[in-house]
Structure 1
Amino acid sequence: MERRNNPKWNQALQGLSHEEAEAVHSLMRARSYSPPRAVIFSQGEPSDTLVVVRNGRVRLFITSPEGEEFTLSMLNGGSILGLAAAVLQRPRILSAEAAGQVDVSILSATDFSACLERFPRFSHNITRLLALLAVENIERSAPLVLDSASQRLGRILVALATRTPNGKQAVHDLTHDDLGKMIGASRTWVSLTLADFERRGLVTRQPGCIAILDPEGLMR
C-alpha cells in the first residue's frame, strides 16, 4: 500500500518502525470494486473487517426501517472505513458502496485486534485517530444544523470538492439524487438550487461535474 495516498492510515502507522508497519501491511489484502454502486459492506453486518480506501470514492449511507436511504458522506482515497465498529466489535451502523472504481486494502477484525495488542504505538495511534474522526465529524455536521437547506448544499459541495489538474475545485460523479439524500431534500429542489447557484456565479455545471467558482459564497 502506498502511504502517501493514505493520510488517515499514515496516522495509524505513525511512529511504527519499518518492520512493524510492514508486519501490519502483510496481514492486509487488496480488493477492487469496479461496478457502479458496488457494495463494500452493508448496515447490520458483523464488523469483521477494517477497510482502508486507497483510490476512488465511497458513499456512506444509512437506511431507515422504512427503506429510505440518507447519505451521510462521500469519502475519498485515504479514508478508513469501519474503524469504530471494529474497535467496539458491534454490527455496522452504516452501509458503504463504491462510487465508480474503488481500490481498498482490507484488514480482518481478528488481525486488527492482534495488531493493537502486539504494537502499543499502533494502539495509541488508533485511539488518537478515533478522537480525531469524532472531532472532524462534529466540525463537519454542526454548522449544517443551523444552516438553511441551500447553505447546507453549498457547504456539502465545498466539502466534497477535489482539485482538478487546472487547479480548480470540482465535485464529480454525484447525482442530484445523491446530493438530495445528503441534506434531506428532493432531487427537484437540488436541481433548482444548483441552477440558482449557477445564475449567481457560484458554480458551473457540466455532465458529471460541478465546478466550484466561489467557495466562500456557497457557504454564506
Structure 2
Amino acid sequence: MSSLPKSTRKQKGGVSFDPQQFLATVGVARTITQCPKDYKIFSQGDPAESVFYIQQGRVKLKVKSKQDKEAVIAILGAGDFLGEACLIGQTVCLATATAIAPSCILRIEKNEMLRVLHEERTFSDFFIPYVLSRNVRAQEDLVDQLFNSSEQRLARTLLLLANYGKEGTPETVVPEIN
C-alpha cells in the first residue's frame, strides 16, 4: 500500500488534515484495539457499523455457509481496511475477521468515516483507489476460479504470493503451462 498523502489545505482553525494522523490515533468515533492472535474483530452476522484499519499485524477474513463449510476469502495486513461495505448500506458483516498475528486495529464508526470521506479530499483520494483496487482483485480472483485450469490458478497464486507486500505497479504476467 502506498503511503498516505498529506494535505496542504487548511481546515477551519488553520489546521490541515493529515490522513496518516487520522489513521494512527484515537479520536472522535475512533478507537484502537490491541488484538492478540485469534482475536475476533467481528463475526459474520454482526451489525456492520464500522470500518476497520489495520495499523499493525495480519487479519484473516473467512465466511461460513449454512452447510458449515468455511472459506478464507482474504488475508489482510498493515495498511488494509476491512468492513468498508457498511459505507454503502451493508447492514450485517458477511465475513468473520480474526487476527492471525498480534495486531493493532483502528475502529472508525461509519458516520465518522462518511464525514471524513465527504470533507477531506486527501483522505478520499487515498481511500477510493484502495477500495477500487480490492474490487478489481476480487474480480480477477473470480475470473481465475471460473475460467482457468487448476495449474493456471496455482501459477497465478504463486505469482501473487511472490509479490505479496511489494508496492508498485502490478505487472501483467501470463504463465505458460505445457
Q: What secondary structure sits across from 1:65 in the alignment?
A: coil
User: With structure 1 as the length reference, what TM-score do the two structures score?
Assistant: 0.59
Alignment-derived partner of residue 156 in structure 1: 157
Task: String of CA shifts for 1:89-144, please: whole Å, max 9, x gaps.
Answer: 42111111111212222211121122123324534544443322211222234223
Percent identity between matched residues is 21
Larger proportion of helix = 1
Q: What secondary structure sits across from 1:51 in the alignment?
A: strand
1:20-169, aligned counterparts within 5 Å?
20-21=17-18, 24-25=22-23, 26=25, 27=27, 28-35=30-37, 37-123=38-124, 125-149=126-150, 151-160=152-161
Counterparts in 2 of 1:98 and 1:72: CA distance versus 1, 3 Å: same
Deviation at 1:31, TM superposition (A): 1.3
RMSD: 3.2
Gaps of 5+ in 2: 9-14, 165-172
Counterpart code for 2:103: V
User: With structure 2 as the length reference, what TM-score do the two structures score?
Assistant: 0.70
Q: What secondary structure sits across from 1:84 in the alignment?
A: helix
Counterparts in 2 of 1:54 and 1:141: CA distance versus 1, 3 Å: farther
Question: Counterparts of 2:2 and 2:93 in 1: how far apart (Å)?
Answer: 20
Counterparts in 2 of 1:40 and 1:134: CA distance versus 1, 3 Å: same
Q: Which has the higher contact order (CA 8 A, sep 6+)?
A: 2
Counterparts in 2 of 1:90 and 1:96: CA distance versus 1, 3 Å: same
Question: Counterparts of 2:71 and 2:176 in 1: how far apart (Å)?
Answer: 22
Number of residue pairs aligned between Structure 1 and Structure 2: 159
